[in-house]
Structure 1
Amino acid sequence: MPSPTAPDSRVTRLFSRRATLRRSVGLLSSFRFEQTAPEKFYGGLAHDTVDLIGDLYTGATGTGLSGTTVVDVGGGPGYFADAFHAVGSRYVPIEPDPSEMHAAGLRVGGAIRGSGLALPLRDGSVDVCFSSNVAEHVSAPFVMADEMLRVTRPGGLMVLSYTLWWGPFGGHETGPWHAFGGEYAARRYARKHGREPKNRYGHSLFEVGASDGLRWARATPDGTLLAAFPRYHPRWAWWLVKVPGLREILVSNLVLVMQRR
C-alpha cells in the first residue's frame, strides 16, 4: 500500500499528465466567476472534474466511466450533469437545499434531495461517489465521508475534494481575513458589503484541514486510501501534501482517493 500522503502512481498516472501549470492557471483564473457567473465557472470545472474522476477510476479499476453510476454529493443544480452524461455515466446529484437544486434553472433527471450526512441510497449501490468543494460547508464532514464510502460498491471509488481552512480560499468570499478568525471575517464582510456572506462561518462554512482528512482516511475500516494530492496544483507541487503544517497553508484543496473494501 502507498504511503498515506504519496499518490499511488498506478491510480494517478493518467491524471498527473493533465496536472500542468497551464491547467492550474486556467482554473485559478476562473474562480473569480464563481458567484457572478457561476455557469461559466462550473462549466469549465465540470469538464475538469470528469477528467479527474475518469482518470482516477481507470487507474484504480482498469475501465472507463461508461456504464457507471456516479453520485455527486452536494451537486447543487447539476452543473456537472452534461459532462458526465457525455462519457456514458449515469449522473446522480444529491443536494439538501432545494433553492440550490433549482438555482440555475437546470433539469437533471434522477436528482435527489437529501443530506450528505445520511445519503438516501443503499449500501454499495454506486460505482463512484464524489464530492467537490462541499466538505468545508458541512458541520461533520467525515460523517459525510463515511456515508460516501457506505454507498460505494466494493472496489468502487470514492473521491473527496475539499477546501482547506488555512489555505488562501479557506474563508471563501471572507478571505483572507478568515486567518484572523472565521467570525471576525464574517462580521467584517457584513460591515463592508451591508449583507451577510453567502458562506457564513459556523453555519455554512467550517474549519477543516488536510490532517483531518488524512487522519480519517487512515483510520476508516471501510476503504483504502489510494492517493492524496492537491487538486489544483501542477504535478510537480504534489509533494506539499507530505509536509505537515505546510500542507495546511499551501495545498489549498485536498483530494482524497479511496477504494471501497
Structure 2
Amino acid sequence: MGITDIFSRRATLARSVRLLSEFRYEQSDPARFYTALAEDTAAMVGDLWAGVDGGRAPVGRTVLDVGGGPGYFADAFTARGLHYIGVEPDPSEMHAAPSLDRSAGSFVRASGMALPFADDSVDICLSSNVAEHVRDPWRMGAEMLRVTRPGGLVVLSYTVWLGPFGGHEMGLTHYLGGARAAARYTRRHGRPPKNNYGSSLFAVSAADGLEWAASTGAALAAFPRYHPQWAWWMTEVPVLREFLVSNLVLVLRAP
C-alpha cells in the first residue's frame, strides 16, 4: 500500500469544490473556514498515517501542530483519538478566537524554528500553511523532523507563492510583485495587510519545498493539497506547478 492510496480516494472533485466554497469565509467567518479545514486536515493526516501503518488509524498517537494559531485543529484531531499539541509563537494569534473551547489538547507558545521538545518525541508533526510566513521554512522543517520519532510522519503544507492564493488577502496583485502588492493594499485599505510581504509573507516556491524534501532523504510523497487526485500530476511539471499546484503537501517519514 502506498502512503497516499487511502487519501487519494478522499481527494475528489466534490471535496475540492467544498473546500473552495469555504475559503471565501476565511476573513469574514474564520471559525467556519478553519473548522472545515481542520476536519479535512485531520482526515488527510489520518489517511496518510494509515498508508504507512497497514491501514490502522493513528488512535493514541501524538500530533504536534506547528503554527497552530488559536487551536481550531485541536477538536478535529482529538475527536479522532489523537493527543494534540499546538505550538504558536504569536500571542495575538494564540488568542485570536477567545470563544474557542480549548479544553481539547495542549498549547505551547514557542517558535517553529526552535521547538521546545526533545528529539523523537511525537508521532506526527504537522504544519499547515505556515512555511510561507517564516523567513527560513526549511529550518522549521528540520526541526519538525528532529522531534518526530523514527517511523513517524512529518506533514508540511504551504501556499505556493505564484499560485492564485500566494498573495493571501492581497488577491492576485501579488503577480505585480510582493512589495508593490503590499503597498497597493495599504493605499486601498488604509492599513498594511496582515500577511505583509517581506515581514510575515515570503515567496516560497514548489521547487524550494521539493528540493528540501529530497535533500532530507526522508521524502515519501508530494501532492497538491486541495486538488482532486487526477490533477496531482501537476506536481511533477516544473514551472506549471508553481502556478497551478496552489498548496503543496510534503510528506516525510522520520528516519
Common topology (TM > 0.5) = yes
Of the three residues 66, 72, 96, the one matched with 1:103 is 96
Aligned to 1:87: 80
In structure 2, stretches of 5+ residues that fail to align are none
Distance in 1 of aligned mates of 2:89 and 2:186: 26
SS at match of 1:36: coil
Q: 2:253 aligns with which of 242, 251, 259?
A: 259
Within-5 A mapping of 1:205-244: 205-221=201-217, 224-244=218-238
Work out whether 1:49 is the aligned partner of 2:36.
no
Match of 1:3 in 2: none
Mapped to 1, the partners of 2:53 and 2:125 lie a distance apart of 14
Cα distance in structure 2, aligned partners of 1:217 and 1:80:
25
Structure-to-structure mapping, 1:105-254, within 5 angstroms: 105=98, 106=100, 107-108=102-103, 109-221=105-217, 224-254=218-248
TM-score by length of 1: 0.94
Deviation by residue 1:221-244 (Cα, 9 ceiling, x = unmatched): 5xx211100000000000000000
Quick one: which of 9, 30, 35 aligns to 1:17? 9
Q: Map Cα deviations across residues 136-195 of structure 1 (whole Å, 9 max, x no partner).
A: 001100000000000000000000000000000001011211111100000000111111
SS of equivalent to 1:146: helix
> Percentage identity across aligned positions?
64
Q: Which has the higher contact order (CA 8 A, sep 6+)?
A: 1
* 1:35 to partner: Cα distance: 1.5
Structure 1 ranges of 4+ moved more than 3 A: none
SS in 2 for 1:111: strand
What is aligned with 2:62?
Answer: 69
Secondary structure of 2:154's counterpart equals strand
Q: TM-score, normalised by structure 2?
A: 0.97
| 1:94 CA drift (Å) | 0.1
For 1:32, the equivalent position in structure 2 comes to: 24
CA drift of 1:48 comes to 0.2
Q: What is the Cα-based RMSD across aligned positions, in Å? A: 0.9
